[in-house]
């Protein structure tokens, strides 16, 4: 009679050997692997405009650099800037105007943060009207009224600069209404208040949905390239972890390359988990528009000329107590190294891990 215990014993022995082998390989692999570093990144509201950052979070770029990100989402960029300066976050993603404003308030020039990478290269600001007869001209705003944001926001600062370039004095030759809440601006224009509406996305796309309002100009395109969204790092963190800042910059650059090699249609159809799920259709429309308008830069370098343009505009708008220099607030060395060293490998070309490491990756979540 055949002994049923023997096959079970052999099977158990085989499983024990395989388990021991897998554990040994994992321990060897884990010992060689550099410990993953988590970066605390603070920011205000994010959307399709911040797509490069969302791609960093969801693609393989962080894994390739062996870092992870803990996002701290606050309700304002001013709070995000304070959180960075207080050392409660390692990095911040925020508007360039907020960063310049904070830097200009430091009287001794010893600012506790430095900008090291650009996330965008143009403002997503649009000028809308109920109707437009003939070709739009900026000089035609003379004697008109524009509903816009608060005087300290980037879209209003850009509009004021464009008016000055066209020999129009803001608030004198052109009336600017700056105290209407965002959720009432579209209704105000439709109700006959003002002649034009200046808004950023998603309000521009929302306003055009029923066809009663149309885009007549793009102030962002008119003013030229400006890194309106940047990444900044706490100087103390930078002094202790320059290699981590470099890894983050590498990951961001890979996301910008990904955008470069994908069409606006592919970007539109992208399903980004970290984006707001309430209106995927609107997010898709905005992402496609940004791609076509080249809202995102080809690399994370912050241009000295565009930085100075932002400083000059804010100074003319009297939004900063003093002008600050590019050298004081920007360090492009990390972006420069990323551009010269990072090699982008398309997702379908990344070599697959072989057995048993691919199994271990699934088990450990790597």
In angstroms, the CA 12 to CA 18 distance is 10
Q: What secondary structure does DSSP assign to 161-205, as a single string?
A: HHHHHTT--BTTTBEEE--S-HHHHHHHHHTT-SSEEEEETTHHH
- Residue ranges, the chain, pLDDT below 70: 1-12, 14-15, 18-34, 107-109, 274-280, 346-366
125-223 and 37-122+226-349 share a CATH fold: yes
In angstroms, the CA 126 to CA 245 distance is 34
- For the chain, the structural domain boundaries read 37-122+226-349, 125-223
In angstroms, the CA 347 to CA 263 distance is 15
Architecture of domain 37-122+226-349: 3-Layer(aba) Sandwich (3.40)
CA angle 311, 237, 249 (to 5 degrees): 65
Per-residue model confidence (pLDDT) at position 22 = 60
Per-residue model confidence (pLDDT) at position 358 = 53
Per-residue model confidence (pLDDT) at position 32 = 43
Please check whether residue 80 is in contact with residue 42, taking contact to mean a CB–CB distance below 8 angstroms.
yes
Per-residue model confidence (pLDDT) at position 180 = 96
Per-residue model confidence (pLDDT) at position 226 = 93
Give every CB contact of residue 211 below 8 A, 6+ residues apart in sequence.
none
- Of 321, 323, 311, 318, nearest to 170 by C-alpha is 318
What pTM value is reported for the model? Answer: 0.84
Provide the 3-class DSSP secondary structure of residue 300.
Answer: coil
Class for domain 125-223, per CATH?
Answer: alpha beta
In angstroms, the CA 135 to CA 179 distance is 29
Per-residue model confidence (pLDDT) at position 185 = 95
Looking only at the bridges linking them, the beta strands covering 125-129 and 214-217 are antiparallel
Per-residue model confidence (pLDDT) at position 163 = 98
Per-residue model confidence (pLDDT) at position 334 = 98
Per-residue model confidence (pLDDT) at position 35 = 82
Per-residue model confidence (pLDDT) at position 31 = 44
Please check whether residue 242 is in contact with residue 13, taking contact to mean a CB–CB distance below 8 angstroms.
no
């Amino acid at each position: 009679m055949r002994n049923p215990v023997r096959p079970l014993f052999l099977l158990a022995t085989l499983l024990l050997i395989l388990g021991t082998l897998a554990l040994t390989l994992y321990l060897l692999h884990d010992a060689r692997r550099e410990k993953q570093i988590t970066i605390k990144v603070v920011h205000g509201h994010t959307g399709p405009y911040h797509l490069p950052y969302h791609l960093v979070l969801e693609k393989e770029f962080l894994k390739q650099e062996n870092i992870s990100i803990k996002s701290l989402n606050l309700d304002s960029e001013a709070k995000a800037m304070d959180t960075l300066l207080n050392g409660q976050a390692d990095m911040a993603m925020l508007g360039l105007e907020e960063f310049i404003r904070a830097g200009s308030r430091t009287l001794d020039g010893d600012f506790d943060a430095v900008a090291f990478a650009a996330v965008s290269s143009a403002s997503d600001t649009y000028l809308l009207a109920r109707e437009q007869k003939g070709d739009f001209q900026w000089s035609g705003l003379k004697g008109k009224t524009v509903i816009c944001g608060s005087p300290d926001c980037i879209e209003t600062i850009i509009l004021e600069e464009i008016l000055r370039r066209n020999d129009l004095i803001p608030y004198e030759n052109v009336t600017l209404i700056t105290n209407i809440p965002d959720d009432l601006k579209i209704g105000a224009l439709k109700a006959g208040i003002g002649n034009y509406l200046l808004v950023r996305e998603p309000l521009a796309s929302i306003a055009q949905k029923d066809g009663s309002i149309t885009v007549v100009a793009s102030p962002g395109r008119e003013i030229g390239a400006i890194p309106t969204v940047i990444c900044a790092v706490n100087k103390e963190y930078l002094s202790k972890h320059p290699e981590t800042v470099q890894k983050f910059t590498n990951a961001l650059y890979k996301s910008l390359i990904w955008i470069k090699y994908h069409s606006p249609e592919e970007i539109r159809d992208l399903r980004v988990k970290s984006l707001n799920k309430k209106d995927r259709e609107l997010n898709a429309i905005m992402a496609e528009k940004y791609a076509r308008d080249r809202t995102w830069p080809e690399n994370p370098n912050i241009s000295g000329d565009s930085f100075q343009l932002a400083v000059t505009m804010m100074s003319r708008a009297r939004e900063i107590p003093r002008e600050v220099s590019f050298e004081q607030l920007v360090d492009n060395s990390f972006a420069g190294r990323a551009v010269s060293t990072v090699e982008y490998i398309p997702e379908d070309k990344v070599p697959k891990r072989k057995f048993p490491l691919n199994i271990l990756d699934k088990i450990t979540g790597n």
